[in-house]
Amino acid sequence: MTDTVLSIRNLTLALPKGADRRYAAENVTYDVAKGEIMCVVGESGSGKSMAANAVMGLLPKGVRPTDGEILFHGEDLLKLDEKRHRELRGLRIGMIFQEPMTALNPLMRAGDQIAEVFEAHGLYNAKERQQKALSLLEEVGIPQPEKAIRAYPFELSGGQRQRVMIAMALALEPELLIADEPTTALDVTTQAQILELIRDLQQRRNMAVMFITHDFGVVAEIATRVCVMRLGKVVELGLASDILGNPQHEYTRSLIDAIPSNAVPPARDVRDPAPLLEVRQLNKVFRSRGGLFKPSREVVALNDVSFTLDRGETVGIVGESGSGKSTMGRCVVRLERPDSGELLLDGVNLSALKGDALRRERKRVQMVFQDPYASLNPRTRVGLAIAQGPIANGVPRQEALKQAGDLLDLVGLGAAAAERFPHEFSGGQRQRIGIARALALNPELIVADEAVSALDVSIQAQILELLEDLKRKLSLSLLFITHDLRVAAQVCDRIIVMQHGRIVEQGTAQEVFLSPREAYTRELLDAIPGRAHEAAAV
Amino acid sequence: MSFFARFAQNRGALIGLIILALIIAMAILAPLLFPESPWRMVQRPFLPPFEVDGFVLGTDTMGRNVAAGLMHGAWVSLLIGLVSTSVALIIGVPLGAVAGYYGGLVDDALMRFTEFFQTIPNFALAIVLVAIMQPSVTSIVLAIAIVSWPPVARLVRAEFMSLRNREYVEAARLVGQGNTTIILKQILPNTLSPIIVLASLMVATAILLESALSFLGLGDPNVMSWGYMIGAARTVIRQAWWLSFFPGMAILLTVLALNLVGEGLDDALNPKLARERQ
Amino acid sequence: MVYARLIAMRLLKAVIVLFLIIVFNFFLIQLAPGDPAAILAGEAGATDEAFLRQLREQFGLDQPLYVQLWHYVSGIATLDFGYSYRQQMPVLDLILERLPATLLLTGTAFVLSLALGIFAGSMAAARVKKISGSVIMALALVFYATPLFWVALMAVLLFSVYLDWLPAYGMFTVGAHYTGMAHILDVAKHLILPASTLALFFMAIYTRMTRASMLEASQQDYVKTARAKGLKDRVIQRRHILRNALLPIITLAGLQAGQMVGGAILTETVFAWPGIGRLMYEALMQRDYNLLLGIFFFSAALVIVFNIFTDLVYRLADPRIKEAS
């Protein structure tokens, strides 16, 4: 192809000794051409970002190329000295990163950080640089660019910061833009806007884009071509439409299958529609307690929230960050104390309980947490971690430990796991341990707070299956909190959509997902990456 | 990798450990090698080092054996360093734990209290305390502990604050564990490594503080210490350099060794951090 | 406006702390073994019973404790720190006379240690894997472990006794009666040894801290962003890494101010520098407790001034703080 901008040939990158495998990338070959978006997809540890880092000359310490070449307009980037490579960066190759929170220097104004790109390449004078920065901020669609240019990163939202990053990467009109998971840390509606911006800019400038992601939805949204990677190797390479529609490799197929589909399972009839949890007019305001000298600030997290959850039912609470969905979950398990309103569990008002009374009642509601790495005490053996609940509630230690073994069996880890420490387990396995711990007290209700958000899609599917299975076996009820509407549609009987601490809409999964009444719900649904593609495919 | 293997990877830490072992040996052997009181005059005054057998390091203004003083002084330095650090930990750890775990008004009150002690110039406070309580090993230990607990409280508080909202702590609360159990079993074990590292550095600082106090004449008058030896020799530095040189080197080496060991412990207890640092 | 409010609040806080120190001082005197009157008089010379009785009445020592506390606090509030019977002068006059020398010494050492420490630390951070970097860190470690008073003595031995380059004692040449520029140069010459020995320990701290802080900052994402822009390493080091790394150093410098005032006691003692540190040593030798507590109070006040100063600098350096006020 004459338009090839970047050509990666047999690239092999060695990991330092002592790593869990020898190569970060092995014999990787793909091209990126002018005017196309090449999506490099893979789960964590697939080495999908490694080639990009090599292109930029920003490989992590200890990782070094051992074979192959990276041709940029025919010139091998691996053979460039640092000075020449630096001249390419920013000028002919731009890059944006995943974390907009940390990728900008907290002590520099946005405008100055953009102007720095021109300075790095000795272009224009100080005044012109600021003017250019301003027009770039306009181009990436930041509201009030004259203000944004003087703003420090902490004064901007996540999406705005990512726009600043994009302005910076595109300042010198590079031929190649590398985007490394640029929307992963953003809310779904913001993600949709940023994806649109990238696609838009790419078409207007006819750039080559190398887009790294773990999300096939995003791939469906913007990819021209796709490269699927696994454990450092290219598994499948081809046109986006081919790979999405007719994946050849089994791994690709499993990844695509693991995405929760848009097809909402038919509503199950709940045999016994007796309410287990009744939430009435719950309010919660967070006050940053000002000190003697500091003014206090208030954030309304829950504003008059009411709903019921029937026995045996799964209710999903969906919303973006700041919607109050997590606070809702934390109030139900009473990690937070609501300011007013009632939380009736089988008629017992949990919100009024304190001290010992609370300790006695709270075992009926347990929680599965988001972060599998933070949810287990690194110094406690897994068996004991599970048994601690029953022990605290008066079960003899030996008996509690035996039960813990049974529970580990139940969640598919085997009783032998009890003797091991958390760090010996993978993320998905730890999440199973967390579930076993939640089950140890025979709760009636389980609150799952973003319980699968930190996991790779394939693992995500397994954990969802396990939850579903346990729910049936143990006749549990589930309050499922997530930012991901697709996941909610898969597992929930009813869905509650929250925004700014209020309930926007609630109804059966079918109703909310297929015929939403509120504009905000529609906006959320439209923002789901890959939805249009899938709708076409169905 | 085992704890010791990681520790031994830091060559400085190993050297520190060896020096420390030698100094501990000095302290233990002192009463055996020099059974007589180090305060006794045994030779003519101002005997330079390496001149007379049995007086390798010479004698001081009063004809006392410098080597004997040095070895007996090791005991005092180590003792005061260890005991005062332990006392500081006994004050600082519970205070920081309670402040960090409960937060709110309790935290505010305890932290204002800690800040107050941090604002007061450390050494000046120690001087005033020892001077008014009258110099003795006890008053010195107390004074050093009183001026050195605030960093412990702050460290423990910071650790507790970051851990108290960790998901495993919340899970423990959910299953009905009480506050005391959570503090002692869930959080405290996870704060031990930074506390151990800080403690090893505090012993070093305590030894420096003790020597400075004795240098100013605030040492226990019944106990021979390195700081006292330097202080007593200060006015005759032109005539007898060795009287201040050797005890000073002893302090330097001890404090250096403790710092090296502290860094090694830090590497060994926080392997991830150590790797990043390299 | 923001700054005016801020300073007002910091001053209020300072007043509270100073008040607490006064109360603390009062109870220290109470806790001391022996007769408070004897302590106030300086115990060695106070055997005269009539004199002690006079003191007791003067200080109201025969009255209830809270009345005494009130007398003590209100006395200090009106800047009456009592009388030093040993030096035959009011405590306040003694301290004010000596304060400028201490300010000169600690101020010089503070600036010196901070500037050199940050310089050496950033050198070491830029040369992590090179020998020069390791040498800087080894030196910093040694200085960090060296007793201040001993290094001062050794400096006297080397630079004054053997080399005879610099004066060993005092603040100016006695009997020379220099004026104008000659006086300033004379003081500067006397200042070199005390200021640099006092600065040495703190320089070591700042060096270690700067290096650690810079290495940490260099791991941050924004450094990768800066490199992706094509910026030169030198610019990245200075503008992105060092600027961010300095924030914790400023905080530390504030915390270290108290240590520096303490260090001045030792340095002034060794070099016979006529500041409040030396005065404290004299008070100690003479068991002049009233003077001792007065100096203690002033040294705490000095630390508070240092702290307010670093606080303001921090606010200038970190835009995120402004939002809070």
Could you tell me if A185 and A304 lie in one domain? no
The answer to whether the CB atoms of C266 and B215 lie below 8 A apart is yes
For every residue of A378-400, which 3-state class applies, written as one string?
CCCCHHHHHHHHHHHCCCCHHHH
Could you tell me if C65 and C200 lie in one domain? no
Give pLDDT tens digits for B84-115.
Answer: 999 999 999 999 999 999 988 999 899 989 98
Residue range of the domain that includes A403: 275-289+296-537
> Residue A39: beta bridge partners?
A211, A226
Nearest CA in chain B to C139: B256
Residue partners of C320: CB distance under 8 A and separation at least 6:
A106, A152, A154
The answer on pLDDT for C324 being more than 60 is no
Could you tell me if A200 and A89 lie in one domain? yes
- What is the rounded CA–CA span in Å between residue C203 and residue C217? 20
The overall average pLDDT reported for chain C is 86
HSE-up (13 A, CA, CB side) for residue C44: 9
Q: Answer yes or no: is C284 within a domain.
A: no
Q: Answer yes or no: is A270 within a domain.
A: no
Could you tell me if C123 and C221 lie in one domain? yes
Give contacts of C 203-262 with B, CB under 8 A.
215, 219, 255, 258-259, 261-262
| Closest of C32, C25, C21, C80 to residue C287, by C-alpha | C32
> Looking at the partner chain, which of A289, A375, A393 has a beta carbon nearest the beta carbon of B171?
A375
Could you tell me if C194 and C243 lie in one domain? yes
- What is the rounded CA–CA span in Å between residue A103 and residue A110? 12
| Closest of C106, C84, C105 to residue C95, by C-alpha | C84
| Closest of A225, A220, A196 to residue A536, by C-alpha | A220
- What is the rounded CA–CA span in Å between residue A262 and residue A331? 30
Question: Tokens 């731009």, residue?
Answer: A94
Residue predicted with more confidence, A457 or C210: C210
Could you tell me if A13 and A78 lie in one domain? yes
The answer to whether the CB atoms of A58 and C225 lie below 8 A apart is no
Q: Could you give the C-alpha distances from C76 to A32, A324, B60, C290, in angstroms and in order?
A: 78, 54, 45, 12
Chain C closest-CA separation from residue B121 CA (Å): 4
Across residues C234-263, what is the average pLDDT? 88
- The pLDDT score that the predictor gives to residue A262 is 63
Burial group, residue A135, by CB count within 10 angstroms (0-12, 13-18, 19+): exposed
- The pLDDT score that the predictor gives to residue A321 is 86
HSE-up (13 A, CA, CB side) for residue B245: 15
Q: Answer yes or no: is C155 within a domain.
A: yes
Residue type, C121: G
Q: Answer yes or no: is C4 within a domain.
A: no
Q: Answer yes or no: is C302 within a domain.
A: yes
Could you tell me if C66 and C169 lie in one domain? no
Question: Tokens 């302590």, residue?
Answer: C39
DSSP C57-101: HHHTTTS-HHHHHHHHHHHHHTT---EETTTTEEHHHHHHHHHHH
Q: Answer yes or no: is A265 within a domain.
A: no
For every residue of A170-228, which 3-state class applies, written as one string?
HCCCCCEEEEECCCCCCCHHHHHHHHHHHHHHHHHHCCEEEEEECCHHHHHHHCCEEEE
Tokens for B179, please give them: 């506050």
- The pLDDT score that the predictor gives to residue C42 is 58
> Residue C89: beta bridge partners?
C84
The answer to whether the CB atoms of C320 and A152 lie below 8 A apart is yes
Could you tell me if A371 and A469 lie in one domain? yes
* Backbone φ/ψ region at C152: left (φ over 0), alpha (ψ -120 to 50), beta: alpha
Euclidean distance between the first and final Cα of chain A, in Å? 34
Could you tell me if C73 and C202 lie in one domain? no
Q: Are strands A445-449 and A365-368 parallel, antiparallel or unpaired?
A: parallel
Q: Are strands A314-318 and A93-96 parallel, antiparallel or unpaired?
A: unpaired
DSSP run (H or E) holding A120: helix A110-120
The answer to whether the CB atoms of C323 and A155 lie below 8 A apart is yes
> Predicted ipTM?
0.87
- What is the rounded CA–CA span in Å between residue B194 and residue C44? 47
| Closest of C20, C140, A155, C157 to residue B259, by C-alpha | C140
- Per the CB < 8 A criterion, the answer to whether A156 and A496 are in contact is no
Structurally, chain C folds into a number of domains equal to 2
Give pLDDT tens digits for A312-341.
Answer: 899 999 999 889 999 999 999 999 999 999
Could you tell me if C248 and C121 lie in one domain? yes
- The pLDDT score that the predictor gives to residue A538 is 43
From the centroid of its chain, how far is CA A221? 17
DSSP run (H or E) holding A300: strand A297-310
CA dihedral A143, A145, A148, A150 (to 10 degrees): -160
Q: Which of A365, A388, A407, A449 to substitute to test the interface with B, most B CBs within 10 Å?
A: A388
Residue predicted with more confidence, C155 or A258: C155
- What is the rounded CA–CA span in Å between residue A525 and residue A512? 10
- The pLDDT score that the predictor gives to residue A290 is 54
The answer on pLDDT for A68 being more than 80 is yes
Question: Tokens 């206090």, residue?
Answer: A296
Tokens for A361, please give them: 């009642």
Reported as a pLDDT band with limits 50, 70 and 90, residue B50 is confident
Burial group, residue B253, by CB count within 10 angstroms (0-12, 13-18, 19+): middle
Instruction: Report the helix count and the strand count for chain C, using DSSP H and E.
Output: 14, 2
Task: Give the CATH number of the domain where residue C187 resides.
Answer: 1.10.3720.10
DSSP run (H or E) holding A6: strand A4-14
Give pLDDT tens digits for A161-180.
Answer: 999 999 999 999 999 999 99
Three-state DSSP class for residue A421: coil
- The pLDDT score that the predictor gives to residue B266 is 85
The answer on pLDDT for C4 being more than 80 is no
Could you tell me if C179 and C308 lie in one domain? yes
Q: What domains are there in chain B, each with its CATH number?
A: 3-277 (1.10.3720.10)
The answer on pLDDT for A268 being more than 90 is no
- The pLDDT score that the predictor gives to residue A258 is 73
Report the percent of chain B where pLDDT is more than 90: 54
Q: Answer yes or no: is A269 within a domain.
A: no
Q: Answer yes or no: is C1 within a domain.
A: no
Count of Cβ atoms closer than 10 Å to residue A515 Cβ: 10
Per CB-CB distance under 8 Å, the chain C contacts of B244 are 150, 153-154
User: pTM to 2 decimals?
Assistant: 0.86
- What is the rounded CA–CA span in Å between residue B179 and residue B102? 9
Q: Could you give the C-alpha distances from A218 to A99, A199, A223, A526, A528, in angstroms and in order?
A: 17, 12, 8, 13, 9
Could you tell me if C137 and C258 lie in one domain? yes
Give contacts of A 270-309 with B, CB under 8 A.
289, 291
Could you tell me if A473 and A378 lie in one domain? yes
Give pLDDT tens digits for A47-65.
Answer: 899 989 999 998 888 888 9
Nearest CA in chain A to C247: A107
Across residues B215-222, what is the average pLDDT? 91
Could you tell me if C124 and C229 lie in one domain? yes
The answer on pLDDT for C322 being more than 80 is no
For every residue of C10-47, which 3-state class applies, written as one string?
HHHHHHHHHHHHHHHHHHHHHHCCCCHHHHHHCHHHCC
Could you tell me if C227 and C266 lie in one domain? yes
- What is the rounded CA–CA span in Å between residue A267 and residue A490? 11
Q: Answer yes or no: is C60 within a domain.
A: yes
Euclidean distance between the first and final Cα of chain C, in Å? 11
Give contacts of A 408-447 with B, CB under 8 A.
434, 437-438, 440-441
Could you tell me if A160 and A197 lie in one domain? yes
- What is the rounded CA–CA span in Å between residue C207 and residue C200? 10
Three-state DSSP class for residue C136: helix
Q: Answer yes or no: is C6 within a domain.
A: no
The answer on pLDDT for B19 being more than 90 is yes
Q: Answer yes or no: is C115 within a domain.
A: yes
- Per the CB < 8 A criterion, the answer to whether A484 and A150 are in contact is no
DSSP run (H or E) holding A11: strand A4-14
Chain A closest-CA separation from residue C73 CA (Å): 25
The answer on pLDDT for B1 being more than 70 is no
- The pLDDT score that the predictor gives to residue B277 is 42
Could you tell me if A68 and A15 lie in one domain? yes
Chain C closest-CA separation from residue B71 CA (Å): 18
- What is the rounded CA–CA span in Å between residue A481 and residue A368? 10
Q: Which of A68-72, B156-160, C166-170, C277-281 has the lowest mean pLDDT?
A: C166-170
Across residues C181-194, what is the average pLDDT? 92
Could you tell me if A180 and A54 lie in one domain? yes
The overall average pLDDT reported for chain A is 89
Size of interface B-C (CB pairs under 8 A): 127
C139 touching chain B per CB within 8 A: no
- The pLDDT score that the predictor gives to residue A296 is 64
The answer on pLDDT for C323 being more than 80 is no
CA dihedral A103, A52, C230, A149 (to 10 degrees): -40
Q: Could you give the C-alpha distances from B32 to B20, B27, B64, in angstroms and in order?
A: 19, 10, 17
The answer to whether the CB atoms of B190 and A379 lie below 8 A apart is yes
Give pLDDT tens digits for A98-145.
Answer: 887 889 999 999 999 999 999 999 888 999 999 999 999 999 989 899
Chain C closest-CA separation from residue A182 CA (Å): 13
Residue partners of C46: CB distance under 8 A and separation at least 6:
C37, C38, C52, C55, C85
Could you tell me if A431 and A497 lie in one domain? yes
The answer on pLDDT for C2 being more than 70 is no
The answer on pLDDT for B278 being more than 80 is no
> Residue A177: beta bridge partners?
A94, A209
Per CB-CB distance under 8 Å, the chain C contacts of B245 are 154
- The pLDDT score that the predictor gives to residue C51 is 76
The answer on pLDDT for A487 being more than 70 is yes
From the centroid of its chain, how far is CA C318? 25
> Looking at the partner chain, which of C147, C258, C292 has a beta carbon nearest the beta carbon of B248?
C147
Give pLDDT tens digits for A360-396.
Answer: 888 899 999 988 888 999 989 999 999 999 999 999 9
Residue partners of A391: CB distance under 8 A and separation at least 6:
A397, A400
Residue predicted with more confidence, A266 or B276: A266
Task: Give the CATH number of the domain where residue A198 resides.
Answer: 3.40.50.300
Could you tell me if A253 and A307 lie in one domain? no
Count the residues in chain B.
Answer: 278
Structurally, chain A folds into a number of domains equal to 2
Size of interface A-B (CB pairs under 8 A): 66
Q: Which of B23, B132, B251 to substitute to test the interface with C, most C CBs within 10 Å?
A: B132
B214 touching chain C per CB within 8 A: no
The answer on pLDDT for C1 being more than 60 is no
Could you tell me if C309 and C235 lie in one domain? yes
A367 touching chain B per CB within 8 A: yes
> Residue A344: beta bridge partners?
A278, A349
Give contacts of C 178-197 with B, CB under 8 A.
none
State whether the Cα torsion B102-B106-B112-B115 is positive or negative.
negative
Count of Cβ atoms closer than 10 Å to residue A307 Cβ: 18
Q: Which of B118, B127, B209, B256 to substitute to test the interface with C, most C CBs within 10 Å?
A: B127
Chain C closest-CA separation from residue A289 CA (Å): 12
Residue range of the domain that includes C216: 99-278+291-324
- Per the CB < 8 A criterion, the answer to whether C98 and C188 are in contact is no
The answer on pLDDT for C6 being more than 80 is no
Phi, psi dihedral angles at A345 (to 5 degrees): -110, 110
Could you tell me if C58 and C104 lie in one domain? no
Chain C closest-CA separation from residue B213 CA (Å): 9
Could you tell me if A332 and A430 lie in one domain? yes
Could you tell me if A227 and A279 lie in one domain? no
Across residues B241-268, what is the average pLDDT? 91
Domain boundary among C52, C80, C108: C80
Euclidean distance between the first and final Cα of chain B, in Å? 17
Q: Are strands A348-349 and A340-345 parallel, antiparallel or unpaired?
A: antiparallel
The answer on pLDDT for C30 being more than 90 is no
Q: Answer yes or no: is A216 within a domain.
A: yes
